[in-house]
Amino acid sequence: MSDISTGEQVPTTRLALLRPVPADAEAILRICGVTEPWVTVVPNLAAAQRLYAEWDEHWRQHGYGYWAVRAHADDTILGFCGIRSMTMPAGPALNLFYRLDPATRGQGLAAEAAAAVIAYARTHLPELPVIARIQPTNAASHRVAERAGLSRAEYLDTDSWHHYVTPADWGRA
């Protein structure tokens, strides 16, 4: 993985994670509009634009957020990956999000992007744990979290979510 140059750009071997811009709403719809049992679907372009606005507001407030995952080869947006502030019962945390175009899955791109985001968080926000909250039936997402370096944290689980975390012992009573 390359060195991280700025908060708005996180490079990896095959990817460039860039802060989204308003025109990326079409890619948000293309990628987050795909129906899958474990995610909320973005139904139309207006909803994608609202979601972009939420993401942009988080960036404005915190200086980090979700990045557009682009291929170095042709600058195509392959998906989105990043961190968002959240509060867990054990305290403040960073929620790790990743969602890639189904056509790109199985190539290790989600794990590559997630690992870069986790490295960014550990470097720039070391006081906050990174948590992935995953639906129990989403086996691929569980594998991505593990490959990206998160540890399974069954002690944080609820009926609806399985949790992965770094540092590994965060939130343990």
- Below-50 pLDDT ranges, the chain: 1-5
User: Which two three-digit tokens encode residue 160?
Assistant: 């609806």
Q: Is 121 a domain residue?
A: yes
Task: Determine the Cα angle at 20 with ends 19 and 25, to 5°.
Answer: 170
Kindly write down the DSSP assignment for every residue of 26-78, as one continuous string. Answer: HHHHHHHTS--TTS----SHHHHHHHHHHHHHHHHHHS--EEEEEETTT--EE
Q: Is residue 138 situated within a structural domain?
A: yes
Question: Looking at the 3D structure of the chain, how many domains does it have?
Answer: 1
Give residue 7's pLDDT. Answer: 67
What is the per-residue pLDDT across 93-107, written as a single tens digit (0 to 9) for each?
A: 999 999 999 899 899
Q: Is residue 173 part of a domain?
A: no
Q: CA-CA distance, 104 to 62, in Å (whole number)? A: 30
- What CATH number should be reported for the domain holding residue 51? 3.40.630.30
The reply to whether 4 falls in a domain is no
Residue 41: domain span: 9-166
The answer to whether residue 110 is domain-embedded is: yes
> For position 41, what pLDDT does the model report?
77
Q: Does residue 171 fall inside a structural domain?
A: no
Residue 37 located in a structural domain = yes
172 found inside a domain: no
Note the pTM of the prediction, 2 decimals. 0.90
